[in-house]
């Protein structure tokens, strides 16, 4: 395998006069940075990587910082450790995800499914594709004393940080009072609802995470009588 790799090596590795161009090429591809990211992603130290590749920790450190120019043979050894193809180090790097959302571009939406909304929310990441979490800016308006708290559910988890005001949150059969500066993290698959308990609106940052945790194993239920029908559960809401 080594001989095959060396045969296909770029011309700059076999021509000393092109050493400067080789260094420039390596720097342009940021090969050292790519190796370091692969290593840290595996929580692997330089010594451990050295054991897998037969290269010294000192050499690997210099390689990651761009102080030495690697050969294709060394890159192949490193690539195999991380299950990558050699071409990984030479292909264009994908652009890191970055989306800026201006305040003026956000859209304020009311609570859905009700005539008298109890809160309004604005998505803070609506332009991010395939996002794994959804951050919101939410404003909860004061309610009448006899107004009902409308619970809802959705997969994953939810985090709420109360910026200002007074807010009551019901999670399952328990109710908790929050003040400005308080935060809460909970399983969003459990019915939950909010109520502004102050005279002024309560303002919060909410982050919903799509990851679904392990579900508890329920005890088997006895079979229902043939004459009984079961109603299907309502679909989860897409808002916080």
- Asked whether the beta carbons of 74 and 5 are under 8 A apart, the reply is no
Q: Is the pLDDT of residue 234 over 80?
A: no
Q: Is residue 84 part of a domain?
A: yes
Integer Cα distance of 192 and 149 in angstroms: 9
Same domain, 113 and 200: yes
As given in the structure block, the two tokens for residue 20 are 């400067």
Note the pLDDT of residue 9: 40
- Asked whether the beta carbons of 125 and 131 are under 8 A apart, the reply is yes
Same domain, 130 and 205: yes
Same domain, 50 and 130: no
**What integer best gives the mean pLDDT of the chain?**
79
Note the pLDDT of residue 31: 85
- The β-bridge partners of 164 are 203
pLDDT confidence tier of residue 117, bands split at 50, 70 and 90: confident
Say which range, 74-88, 109-123, 216-230, has the weakest mean pLDDT: 216-230
Q: Is the pLDDT of residue 231 over 70?
A: no
DSSP-derived letter for residue 118 is S
Map tokens 């120019």 to a residue: 69
Same domain, 25 and 65: yes
Note the pLDDT of residue 68: 85
Same domain, 65 and 108: no
Q: Is residue 233 part of a domain?
A: no
Note the pLDDT of residue 227: 42
Note the pLDDT of residue 14: 42
Q: Is the pLDDT of residue 232 over 70?
A: no
pLDDT confidence tier of residue 167, bands split at 50, 70 and 90: very high
| pLDDT, tens only, 20-67 | 565 555 555 678 888 998 899 888 999 999 999 999 999 999 999 888
Note the pLDDT of residue 33: 87
Q: How far apart are the first and last CA of the chain?
A: 54
Output the CA torsion sign for 34, 40, 46, 52: negative
Contacts of 207 (CB under 8 A, 6+ apart): 133, 134, 135, 136, 158, 159, 160
Q: Looking at residues 173-181, what average pLDDT do you find?
A: 96
Q: Looking at residues 172-189, what average pLDDT do you find?
A: 96
| pLDDT, tens only, 62-102 | 999 888 888 888 888 999 998 888 888 887 766 677 888 88
Secondary structure (3-state) at 39: helix
Count up the domains in the chain and report the number.
Answer: 2
Q: Of 170 and 18, which is predicted with more confidence?
A: 170
Q: Looking at residues 105-130, what average pLDDT do you find?
A: 87
Q: Is residue 237 part of a domain?
A: no
Its domain, for residue 166, covers 104-209
Integer Cα distance of 138 and 118 in angstroms: 11
Classify each residue of 190-201 as buried b or exposed e, where b means 16 or more C-beta atoms within 10 Å of its C-beta. eebebbbbeeeb
Contacts of 79 (CB under 8 A, 6+ apart): 85, 86, 88, 89
Same domain, 113 and 191: yes
pLDDT confidence tier of residue 174, bands split at 50, 70 and 90: very high
Secondary structure (3-state) at 27: helix
Output the CA torsion sign for 191, 197, 201, 206: negative
The CATH number assigned to the domain holding 115 equals 2.60.120.10
CA atoms within 13 A on the CB side of 218: 4
Same domain, 205 and 108: yes
Q: Is the pLDDT of residue 129 over 80?
A: no
């Amino acid at each position: 395998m080594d001989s095959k790799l060396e045969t296909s090596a770029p011309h700059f590795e076999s021509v000393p006069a092109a050493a400067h161009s080789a260094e420039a090429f390596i720097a342009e591809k940021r090969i050292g940075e790519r190796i370091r990211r692969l290593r840290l992603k595996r929580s692997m130290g330089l010594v451990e990587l050295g054991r897998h590749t037969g290269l010294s920790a000192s050499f690997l450190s210099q390689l990651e910082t761009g102080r030495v120019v690697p050969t294709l043979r060394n890159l192949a050894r490193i690539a195999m450790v991380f299950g990558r193809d050699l071409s990984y180090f030479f292909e264009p790097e994908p652009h890191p995800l970055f989306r800026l959302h201006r305040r003026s571009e956000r859209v304020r939406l009311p609570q859905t499914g009700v005539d008298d909304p109890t809160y309004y929310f604005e998505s803070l990441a609506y332009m991010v594709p395939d996002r794994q979490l959804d951050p919101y800016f939410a404003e909860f308006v004061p309610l009448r004393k006899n107004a009902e708290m409308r619970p809802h559910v959705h997969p994953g988890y939810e985090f709420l940080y109360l910026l200002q005001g007074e807010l009551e949150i019901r999670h399952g059969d328990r109710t908790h009072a929050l003040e400005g500066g308080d935060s809460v993290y909970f399983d969003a698959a459990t019915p939950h609802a909010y109520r502004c308990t102050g005279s002024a609106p309560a303002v919060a940052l909410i982050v919903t995470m799509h990851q679904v945790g392990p579900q508890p194993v329920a005890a088997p239920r006895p079979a229902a009588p043939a004459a009984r029908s079961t109603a299907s559960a309502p679909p989860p809401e897409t808002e916080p």
